[in-house]
């Protein structure tokens, strides 16, 4: 069974996302006065509820909210996994 790893290093998070074709995004209508919001990755399938953000904005929100990325590299069958979840540190 594959296990999940908790990442906080920006370069490792970006590399994980790049390997899967994921782009930084946030859920529309969740931005607060500071410009934060609920972070997600956009994998290219059209999702109406997501809006793109720059990596700089993504990591600003990530640090402001003191998040970590819980990610999985491989599925149980050995394929590339896209499982990820943002969790509190």
- Residue 76: phi and psi, rounded to 5, are -60, -30
Tell me the pTM.
0.85
Total structural domains within the chain: 1
- pLDDT confidence band for 1 (50 / 70 / 90): very low
**CA-based nearest residue to 3, from 77, 89, 76:** 76
Give me the domain span that covers residue 64. Answer: 4-88
Check residue 2 and give its pLDDT: 61
At 54 the three-state DSSP class reads coil
41-86 tens-digit pLDDT: 999 876 788 999 999 999 999 999 999 999 988 888 888 888 899 9
Q: What is the pLDDT of residue 65?
A: 92
């Amino acid at each position: 069974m594959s296990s999940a790893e908790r990442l906080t290093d920006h370069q490792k998070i970006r590399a994980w996302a790049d390997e899967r074709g994921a782009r930084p995004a946030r859920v529309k209508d969740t931005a607060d006065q500071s410009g934060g919001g609920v972070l997600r990755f956009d994998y290219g399938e059209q999702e109406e509820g997501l809006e793109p953000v720059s990596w700089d904005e993504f990591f600003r929100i990530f640090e402001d909210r003191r998040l970590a990325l819980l990610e999985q590299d491989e599925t149980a069958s050995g394929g590339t996994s896209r499982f990820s979840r943002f969790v509190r540190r």
